[in-house]
Structure 1
C-alpha cells in the first residue's frame, strides 16, 4: 500500500486524523504516524510496531493544532536517550512540516555553499532513511517483480558486496564509501573476555553457594531441596587504538574510525587516540550515536589531520601521560600506521620498547602490507617491527573483519619471537 505524502502539521493534521482510506483502511493520521516511525527506524533508532500504536493512542489526547505539544508527545514515546533527540527533531521538522519532503531530502544530500554562514550539520542516517522510503513510494505503483527478477537482483547485490569487501579503501568512490559505512555499522563485533577470580550468582556452575542454599532452605521450611551456585565473572579485555591520521593514511584512518565507532556502540572497552604531529584523545567524540557527526566533530577538533607524522614524539607523550592509566588489565594496543616517520629512529625504537613493556600485546595494522613485495626498508618500519607481537594488513573490509575475529580470542602472551603476519 503506497504511503501518503507527509502533511503540513498545523493545517492538515486535524483533518487527516478524521479522514479514512477510500478502501476502508486506517485513518490518514495513523498511516502517517506509522510512516514516521519507519523513517526513524531506518535512521537507526530502535523502533517497533508497538511504538507506533502507542504514539497513535497518545495523539488522541493531544491538541493536534499545537505543534509543540505533538512534538513533545511523540518525542516522549519514541526516544529513549538524550542523543536520540537531535535525530528525532530533524526527522520531525522534515517530515511533518513541509509536504515537499523529497525536495528537502535532495537539499539534505547535496552540499550547499552559503556566504559567511557555516553549512548545516548533515545527518546521513536520516537522509538514507528518507531515500529508502522515497524509493519505496516511487516503486509502489509498479507490478510486483517475478521470482527470476528477485534472484537476479539478489545475485547482483551479493556480487557487488563481495567486490566491495576486497576493494582497497584508497580506491573507493563516494557511493562505495556510503555502502561501506552501512556494512560496518550493521556488524556488532564483541571483543574477547576472560574469567576473573570474582564470582556471581548463577543458575548452574561448579561453585556451590552454601549461604544462598541455606537461606533458601530456611524459607522452604527446612527442606534442603535446591542448590544455589556461583560462577566466575567474565570481564572484557581493554583495547587501546593508536591511529595515524597523516596524509598517507587518510582513507584507511577513516575506515578504521567507522570500525571503532561500531565497537564503542557495542559497549566495548575501547580507548581511541589519534596521532599525526601530536596526540589527540578521541574516545568521547566517537561515542556520538551518528558516526558521520562523530567524524565531522573529530575533523574540526584535530589540527593535524592529513598532515605530517611524528610517531616517536607522539608515542613518548602517550607513554608519559596515558600508558599507566590505559594499559592495565591485559590491554591490547592496536597501532594503525604505515611506519613512515620523520623523527629520529632511535627515539622511535626506545618508545616502542617502552610501549611493549606496558601493554599485554602490541598489534601493528599496516596498509602497506597490501603489496605482495612489501619489505621493511624504511627506518621507521625497521625500528617498530622488533617490538610488535603481530603485523597485519588493514586495507579493505576483509582485513577489518579478520581483525575483529582475532580480537575475540585471548591468546596467552608467549615469549617474544618477532611479529607474525596474515597472508
Structure 2
C-alpha cells in the first residue's frame, strides 16, 4: 500500500474517495455522482472484501470500455497489486447491517475467499450520507477533513444558453452555404440539404463569498465549494467583507489546499466586518459593466448581515437582478429551526432573489449546484425563476 493510502487508512471512506480522485486524475470521467454511487455500492455489498470493492468501482466509476485498463492499473497501484488477473463478477451478498472492515481478499475470480496478504481497507461509507447533512460549523476536525475531500469532487456548471453562432446539425434551419458547397463538390448536381442550429454554451457563474467574521465557521467550506466550481471554467469568484477581492486566479490552482493558501494571501479582510451594499455597488460598477454579471448566474453565499444602511443593498440587488440571468442567495442560517430572514440586509435583498436556498452542509451545496444548473428552486423561495437576460 502506498504512503498516501496509509495516511488515509484511519479516516472512514478516505481511501475510497482517494482512489476515485486518483482515477479521475488518471483521465477517467469520475463525476461527483459516480463517486457517490461508488460509496453507496461498497456499503450495499461488502466493503471489507477486496473483490466487492473492485467490482463496485468498476461498475460505477468506469464510463466506457476505454476506462477498464486504466481502472485495473490504478486499482492495483492504490490498493496494492495482488494477482493481475481480472476477477469474475461476484455473487451478490445478502444485506448486512453495519459492515466492519476485515482483511480483504485479493481479486482471484472467487468472491469472498480471504487472503492474508491483502491490505486492510478503512471503515465503510455508512456514515458518509449522515455527514453530508451535518452543519459544517458543528463538525470535528476529522469530519471537516472528510467533507473537504467530498467537496473536491463537486462540479458546478451554469445552465446552457443559445449563442448567435450556428453549428452543423442533422435538423434545424437550412444552411445555404454548406448546401451550395456540397453541390459544387458534386458537380452542381442536387444534394441533400445541409442544416444548422444555434450553438449552446454554459452561462457564466459568478460566486460572491462572504468572508466576514459572522461567516467564519462556513467560509472554508464555501471557498472550497467555489474552488471545485472554478475548475470547470466559466466561473468567477469574489470575496466580500470590508473589501471586494477577485480570487478567480487564486482558485486556478488544481490542489484545493494550494488554492486556499493563495486565496488567504490575496484576501486582506478575512474575518472582518460586512459592507454588502457598498461592495455590491462596487462589483456592479467595476465588473458588471464589463459583462461579468451580464446574463450570468450570480450566487451570493452570505448570512445577509449588513452593518450599514440596507437601502444601498436593496438598490444594488435590484440592479443585479436586471443585469443577471438569475440571482441565487445561499444562506447557512436558513437551515436553523425557526429562522426567518428578518436581518436588515437579508430582508432588503430577498425581493430581488430568484432562489433562496440553504448553504450549511455538503448536501445543501449539492442542492445549490443543482439549482444553479437550472433545477427547480426549493419550496418557499421568493420567486419561481428569472427572465432570460
State the shift of 1:340 in Å: 1.4
- Secondary structure of the residue that 1:277 maps to in structure 2? coil
Q: Choose which of 258, 262, 269 in structure 2 pairs with 1:304.
A: 269
Report the equivalent of 1:190: 157
State the shift of 1:228 in Å: 2.4
Q: Is this contact kept in 1: 2:159–2:203, CA < 8 A? A: yes
- Secondary structure of the residue that 1:304 maps to in structure 2? coil
Matches of 2:225 and 2:341, distance apart in 1? 27
Distance 1:291 1:215, change over 3 A: same
Report the equivalent of 2:230: 264
State the shift of 1:286 in Å: 0.6
Distance 1:340 1:3, change over 3 A: closer
1:203-222 CA distances to partner (integer Å, 9 max, x unpaired)?
x1212223222322332344
Q: Choose which of 308, 331, 344 in structure 2 pairs with 1:379.
A: 344
Q: Is this contact kept in 1: 2:136–2:218, CA < 8 A? A: yes
Report the equivalent of 2:296: 331
- The yes-or-no answer on 1:242 pairing with 2:208 is yes
Distance 1:181 1:226, change over 3 A: farther
1:146-181 CA distances to partner (integer Å, 9 max, x unpaired)?
7399xxx99963322101111111122333233223
Matches of 1:315 and 1:281, distance apart in 2? 13
Distance 1:420 1:252, change over 3 A: farther
Q: Is this contact kept in 1: 2:329–2:353, CA < 8 A? A: yes
1:200-250 CA distances to partner (integer Å, 9 max, x unpaired)?
123x12122232223223323444344422121102212211110012212
Matches of 1:410 and 1:373, distance apart in 2? 26
Matches of 1:46 and 1:148, distance apart in 2? 30
Q: Choose which of 332, 348, 370 in structure 2 pairs with 1:405.
A: 370
- Secondary structure of the residue that 2:342 maps to in structure 1? coil
Matches of 2:2 and 2:224, distance apart in 1? 33
- Secondary structure of the residue that 1:322 maps to in structure 2? helix
Report the equivalent of 1:42: 22
Matches of 2:257 and 2:2, distance apart in 1? 29
Matches of 2:338 and 2:296, distance apart in 1? 32
Map residues 248-287 of structure 1 onto 2, 5 A cutoff. Answer: 248-267=214-233, 269-287=234-252
Map residues 80-229 of structure 1 onto 2, 5 A cutoff. Answer: 136=80, 144=105, 147=112, 157-202=124-169, 204-229=170-195
State the shift of 1:47 in Å: 5.8
Report the equivalent of 2:88: none
- Structure 2: gaps spanning 5 or more residues: 4-17, 29-75, 83-102, 115-119
TM-score (norm 2): 0.65
Matches of 2:316 and 2:196, distance apart in 1? 43
- The yes-or-no answer on 1:346 pairing with 2:311 is yes
- Larger Rg belongs to: 1
Matches of 2:194 and 2:258, distance apart in 1? 48
1:246-302 CA distances to partner (integer Å, 9 max, x unpaired)?
1221232222222222222122x2111101111101111111111210111111221
- Structure 1: gaps spanning 5 or more residues: 5-37, 49-131, 412-416
- Secondary structure of the residue that 2:124 maps to in structure 1? helix
Matches of 1:320 and 1:3, distance apart in 2? 52
Aligned length: 291
Distance 1:279 1:235, change over 3 A: same
Q: Is this contact kept in 1: 2:330–2:357, CA < 8 A? A: yes
Q: Is this contact kept in 2: 1:214–1:224, CA < 8 A? A: no
1:110-142 CA distances to partner (integer Å, 9 max, x unpaired)?
xxxxxxxxxxxxxxxxxxxxxx9787489xxx6
Structure with the higher helix share, 1 or 2: 1
TM-score (norm 1): 0.60
